[in-house]
Amino acid sequence: MPPASIALLHTGLVTSIGQDAASACAAMRAKLANPTETRFMGSAGEWIQAHQVELESAERGLEKLAVMAALSIEECLAGVPRAEWAGMPLLLCVAERERPGRLAGLDERLFARIQQLLEVQFARESAVVAHGRVATAVALGQARKLILEQGLARVLVAAADGLLHWPTLRELDRAGRLLGPDNSNGFMPGEAAGALLLGAPSATPQLLCHGIGFGVEAAHIASDEPLRADGLTTAIKAALADAGCALHDIDYRMTDLSGEQYYFKEAALAMTRTLRQRKEEFDLWHPAESIGETGASAGIAMLVLADMACRKAFSPGPRLLAHMANDGGQRAAAIFSFGTAE
């Protein structure tokens, strides 16, 4: 095992198809989805469909994100005495600052509200990671430093995000990016929250993160440049080098793909530039088909599903490549395996 590995200890997840990790992952395994009409109408005169989380109360906006995040964190930390929660940092993944219609004061207000709901003050190493769909990978890198270099026993990574805010939906609709009766090249928006408790590996079988890599794509989705998948290729190669393995050693892939042809093409191009030995099968999993496009929560949803798939023995194998991309051109990849530290 590479010395830079960290372990996923516990998880929590709140989605439109299940409000805990077990039920959400069971629904994703069964390829279930639960899209419903929103209260927003698109430019074609159709009600916008979305994967909405139904809470017992009727919160919206930032308050709903905070409640979902608190629920996922409580599930994730259920086995940790509450007195110990304040001793760990929270790395909170949220929407990138460039996203159209981003909630005002999101970074400060959301973090503070989550602490209020949980009645806890997280450690001073806590931070907000505002990188959208690649935020989970960025947070993994930060957590690895805190655990392996600063000696922290545990780090909490959480995310709360959604695209069901009218200013955001309006811009996506205008850009022709929403899935609809007249547009098959689009995604269905969603919302979700999740949490990962990370720590040093042990002798217990766990999902281990061995390598992380990043890249920048100049030909991002809003660019007129020809797409060669340079950014994602760089990220995958860096993650493989960090983990000390080759792509043909990996059993399957988990991605944040949500329906747009651009990102599927990018993923395919990156594979042609990194896979050097033929594989009979190389499954591509994308949870967004069940929970929709959930922004910064997508990465955590992927890893919660991967962890559950390994523990319940329905994954294609123990080794996983997870890769992520946001609209601004940031690309990230991470290498995982399920096993022990021995």
Q: How confident is the model at residue 223 (pLDDT cuts 50, 70, 90)?
A: very high
Please indicate, yes or no, whether residues 135 and 250 belong to a single structural domain of this protein. Answer: no
Q: pLDDT tens digits, residue range 270-304?
A: 999 999 999 989 999 999 999 999 999 999 999 99
Residue 1 lies in a domain: no
Residue 223 lies in a domain: yes
Please indicate, yes or no, whether residues 194 and 222 belong to a single structural domain of this protein. Answer: no
What's the number of domains the chain is made of?
A: 2
Residue pair 28/20 in contact (Cβ under 8 Å)? The answer is: no
Please indicate, yes or no, whether residues 93 and 25 belong to a single structural domain of this protein. Answer: yes
Please indicate, yes or no, whether residues 35 and 174 belong to a single structural domain of this protein. Answer: yes
Please indicate, yes or no, whether residues 189 and 258 belong to a single structural domain of this protein. Answer: no
Which residue type does 194 have?
G
Residue 35 lies in a domain: yes
Which residues contact residue 225 at a Cβ distance below 8 angstroms, ignoring those fewer than 6 apart? 218, 219
Please indicate, yes or no, whether residues 113 and 218 belong to a single structural domain of this protein. Answer: no
Domain end call among 199, 233, 266: 199
What is the pLDDT of the chain when averaged over all its residues? 95
Please indicate, yes or no, whether residues 168 and 284 belong to a single structural domain of this protein. Answer: no
Residue 143 lies in a domain: yes
Least confident of 45-54, 56-65, 110-119, 240-249: 56-65
For the cut 60, the answer to whether the pLDDT of residue 58 exceeds it is yes
Q: pLDDT tens digits, residue range 120-137?
A: 999 999 999 999 999 999
Please indicate, yes or no, whether residues 51 and 149 belong to a single structural domain of this protein. Answer: yes
Which residue type does 120 have?
V
Q: Which residue has the tokens 């919206």?
A: 60
Q: pLDDT tens digits, residue range 200-212?
A: 998 899 999 999 9
Please indicate, yes or no, whether residues 61 and 128 belong to a single structural domain of this protein. Answer: yes
Q: Which residue has the tokens 């393995």?
A: 245
Domain end call among 162, 183, 199: 199
At residue 342, the pLDDT reads 57
At residue 113, the pLDDT reads 98
Task: Give the pLDDT mean for 324-332.
Answer: 97
For the cut 50, the answer to whether the pLDDT of residue 219 exceeds it is yes
Domain end call among 199, 221, 250: 199
- The closest alpha carbon to 92, from 35, 154, 33, 139, belongs to 139
Please indicate, yes or no, whether residues 150 and 13 belong to a single structural domain of this protein. Answer: yes
Domain residue limits at 171: 8-199
Which residues lie across from 260 on neighbouring strands? none
At residue 57, the pLDDT reads 84
For the cut 80, the answer to whether the pLDDT of residue 1 exceeds it is no
- The closest alpha carbon to 4, from 200, 136, 226, belongs to 200
Record the pTM: 0.96
For the cut 80, the answer to whether the pLDDT of residue 2 exceeds it is no
Residue 298 lies in a domain: yes
Kind and range of the H or E run holding 70: helix 61-76
Strand pairing category for 47-50 and 252-255: unpaired
Please indicate, yes or no, whether residues 164 and 225 belong to a single structural domain of this protein. Answer: no
Cα-based distances in Å from 247 to 158, 210, 270, 334: 28, 13, 11, 12
At residue 44, the pLDDT reads 85
Q: pLDDT tens digits, residue range 180-198?
A: 988 999 999 999 999 999 9
Q: What is the CATH number of the domain that holds 300?
A: 3.40.47.10
Instruction: Return the sign of the alpha-carbon dihedral for residues 175, 177, 180, 185.
Output: positive
